[in-house]
Amino acid sequence: MTQSTGLDLNLLVALDVLLEEESVQGAARRLHLSEPAMSRTLGRIRKALGDPVLVRAGRRMVPTPHALAVRAEVSAVVERARALFAPGRDTDLRTVSRTFTILGHDALAAAHGAALFARAAREAPGVRLRFLPESHVDAPLLRQGTADLEVGVIDSVAPEVHVETVYEDRMLGVVRAGHPLLTGELTPERFAGEVGHLIVSRRGRQHGPIDAALAELGLRRRIVGSVGTYPASLFVLRDTDLTGLISHWGRPLADALGLVTFEIPLTLPAMEVGYAWHPRHDADPAHAWLRGCMHELMLRR
């Protein structure tokens, strides 16, 4: 068994990058090493951990269960070391080399991705951004270290996760230009019964707050189906007479496709929109920069 006193702590940095890239080639590029040197480093890591760490799956490499289990801890140790040797007030963001994974629905990247990439290019050119879509399966991705920041309606988090609410949002109806619902007074009865409805659900659900509000009035809408993302729904709505939903911060996407949004004639609960992160990032100046960027972008809705 390998003695911990003989472990090169630089292996932690290499392990952190390997688990982030899931590629020997990508890790070598990040750490400015040759691929053979990176392969040898992976071999040392495997020997030290007594685990393969990364295994071949087709043309790519995937982490082992043990690697997934320790990924968050490894990332936390590396980030604390960075914070220790580079206090926040002295950190030059232009020298930071990191990949940040942002978890949220597709409208997040579509609405704010361009502005966030542009700001990173100006202020932190060594930072890479990876947008990860929401899954139909709930998992503690912040705790595991799979994601660095979750953005949107934070409805299920681990107790230790920090949540910052930025604003309250509400859903808008959205239809193609010239749609019949846009003519005349829009009542709950017309909204529910005049057209078919397309809903967005990553889990394929066909019931939500809209249906609960309609049920209180003795009404029921006709749902024709669902799609997994808001951008996908907008393309369907553009070419049909269906009606759909979009949040205020996704409204620019609807505008870009020539769609028209409208107020829904129902009393609906407000949605708290914000972002969440794991406390291991609290002292990390680069992560604080990311949080600040996202906060400002979300206020521009």
Inside any domain, residue 39: yes
- pLDDT score recorded for residue 102: 95
- pLDDT score recorded for residue 2: 42
For residue 204, give the CATH number of its domain. Answer: 3.40.190.10
Q: For residue 131, give the nearest of 18, 295, 294, 296 by alpha carbon.
A: 294
CB 72 within 8 A of CB 147: no
Inside any domain, residue 255: yes
- pLDDT score recorded for residue 186: 96
109 exposure class (CB count in 10 Å sphere: 0-12, 13-18, 19+)? buried
Q: Which residues of the chain have pLDDT under 50?
A: 1-5, 88
Q: For residue 107, give the nearest of 262, 264, 273, 279 by alpha carbon.
A: 273
Inside any domain, residue 124: no
- pLDDT score recorded for residue 255: 93
Confidence (pTM): 0.69
- pLDDT score recorded for residue 90: 55
Inside any domain, residue 166: no
- pLDDT score recorded for residue 5: 46
Inside any domain, residue 122: no
Inside any domain, residue 96: no
Tokens 């604390």 map to which residue? Answer: 80
At 261, phi and psi to the nearest 5? -100, 155
Inside any domain, residue 155: no
Residue 116 tokens, joined: 């966030």
Q: For residue 263, give the nearest of 249, 242, 273, 248 by alpha carbon.
A: 248
For residue 31, give the CATH number of its domain. Answer: 1.10.10.10
Q: For residue 132, give the nearest of 84, 89, 99 by alpha carbon.
A: 99
Tally of domains within the chain: 2
Inside any domain, residue 148: no
Tokens 């932190």 map to which residue? Answer: 124
Range of the domain at 70: 1-85
Count CB-CB contacts under 10 A for residue 76.
17
The CA-atom distances, in angstroms, between 66 and each of 59, 70, 145, 272 are 21, 6, 14, 36
